[in-house]
């Protein structure tokens, strides 16, 4: 792979993303991946559909990822043709992303002599790896991380600074965990007593699959008895709470500030918009998509899109509608009375 400082050739990018290349100079080096508005002649950008055409026409990008037939080749414009340009853009971004430094293990890291560290692992300064922890080959642990006793990290993971993995947490291969995230902390389990709240010690684990991407400041609680489970290919945005014994199916996407209460089971290929609140002890089927700020209070057993809450409106209209909502029970009673009266008259 070409170095980012000098650039990456169009031919190499096309081969990586499996795109058809139309270019007068396939060996031309691309310095960066940029937006249509900021790109220059040395940059690569992308066009998803016709709605991007006005921006593309004004762009100074020297190369574009685009779907077939959307843009005509030009003398100073190379094209990388792909049927799914957004996916191709995602694959191209890997070439330009800053990877792990492969710096090895810092002499200021604190690692138990009973931890198992495979070849090619990097561990930054002031990180702690406790006894029984296992870190597989190629994984990168940045500075100030804590890896608890008997925790397991799969191959080629990247753990950014200030991440905490409690004891017995299992993280699959090819995962990314961003700064400030805590995995395996105690769930919110307490029993009421005449002396106040009695803590229920959380005895389960957190088990996370392969290729999972977890944002910053996420909290995933360990199970009370059984495990909290995150499936393969799940993506979790910043500031998400996953409570104890939750199960999240493969490839589900969870946007920022979502809260999932304990023991809820979520299927595969679901998505949840920002600030969705999900109550505990319910089931959500595969392929369920919940729009932002919705509140899920009961099981959803059929796939589809679901919404709740009131969309934004001018304050005057919102206040008027709120007043009307308060009177809805009275209105229902009046309608029922009117229907009964109509039926009685019809009988007469």
pLDDT at 1 over 90: no
Q: Each residue of 300-328: pLDDT tens digit? A: 999 999 999 878 889 999 899 889 888 99
Mean pLDDT of 240-265: 98
Does an H or E element contain 117, and which?
Answer: strand 116-117
pLDDT at 86 over 80: yes
Report the C-alpha gap between 56 and 5 in whole angstroms.
26
Give the residue numbers marked as catalytic: 244
Query: Tell me, what's the pLDDT at 4?
Result: 45
Among 317, 292, 297, 322, CA closest to 307: 292
* 200: phi then psi, degrees, rounded to nearest 5: -95, 110
Does an H or E element contain 192, and which?
Answer: strand 190-193
For the chain, what percent of residues have pLDDT higher than 70? 97
User: Is the CB of residue 122 less than 8 Å from the CB of residue 99?
Assistant: no
Q: What is the DSSP letter of 14?
A: H
Q: Can you say how many angstroms the Cα of residue 254 is from the centroid of all Cα atoms in its chain? A: 5
Q: Which residue has the higher pLDDT, 67 or 341?
A: 67
Report the C-alpha gap between 231 and 221 in whole angstroms.
15
For residue 98, give Cα distances in angstroms to 84, 95, 159.
24, 8, 14
Query: Tell me, what's the pLDDT at 2?
Result: 41
> Phi-psi category of 54—alpha, beta or left, where left has phi over 0 and alpha has psi -120 to 50?
alpha
């Amino acid at each position: 792979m070409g170095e980012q400082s000098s650039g990456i050739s169009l031919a190499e990018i096309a081969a990586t993303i499996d795109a058809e290349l139309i270019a007068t100079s396939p060996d031309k080096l691309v310095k960066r991946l940029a937006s249509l508005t900021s790109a220059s002649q040395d940059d690569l950008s992308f066009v998803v559909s016709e709605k991007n055409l006005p921006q593309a026409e004004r762009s100074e990008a020297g190369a574009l990822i685009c779907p077939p037939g959307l843009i005509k080749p030009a003398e100073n414009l190379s094209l990388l043709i792909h049927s799914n340009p957004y996916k191709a853009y995602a694959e191209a971004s890997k070439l330009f992303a800053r990877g792990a430094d492969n710096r090895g293990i810092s002499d200021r890291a604190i690692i138990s002599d009973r931890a198992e560290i495979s070849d090619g692992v990097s561990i930054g300064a002031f990180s702690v790896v406790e006894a029984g922890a296992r870190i597989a080959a190629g994984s990168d642990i940045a500075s100030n991380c804590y890896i608890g006793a008997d925790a397991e990290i799969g191959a080629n993971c990247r753990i950014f600074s200030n991440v905490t993995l409690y004891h017995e947490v299992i993280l699959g291969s090819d995962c990314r965990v961003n700064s400030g995230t805590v995995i395996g902390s105690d769930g919110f389990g307490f029993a009421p007593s005449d002396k106040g709240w009695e803590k229920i010690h959380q005895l389960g684990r957190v088990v996370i699959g392969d290729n999972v991407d977890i944002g910053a400041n996420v909290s995933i609680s360990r199970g009370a008895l059984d495990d909290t489970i995150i499936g393969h290919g799940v993506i979790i945005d910043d500031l998400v709470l996953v409570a104890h014994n939750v199960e999240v199916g493969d490839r589900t996407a969870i946007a920022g500030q979502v809260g999932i209460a304990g023991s809820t089971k979520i299927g595969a290929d679901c998505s949840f918009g920002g600030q969705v609140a999900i109550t505990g002890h319910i089931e959500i089927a595969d392929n369920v998509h919940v729009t932002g700020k919705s509140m899920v209070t009961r099981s959803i057993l059929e796939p589809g899109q679901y919404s709740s809450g009131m969309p934004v409106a001018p304050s005057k209209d919102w206040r008027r509608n709120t007043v009307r909502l308060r009177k809805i029970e009275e209105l229902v009673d009046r309608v029922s009375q009117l229907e009964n009266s109509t039926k009685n008259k019809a009988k007469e």
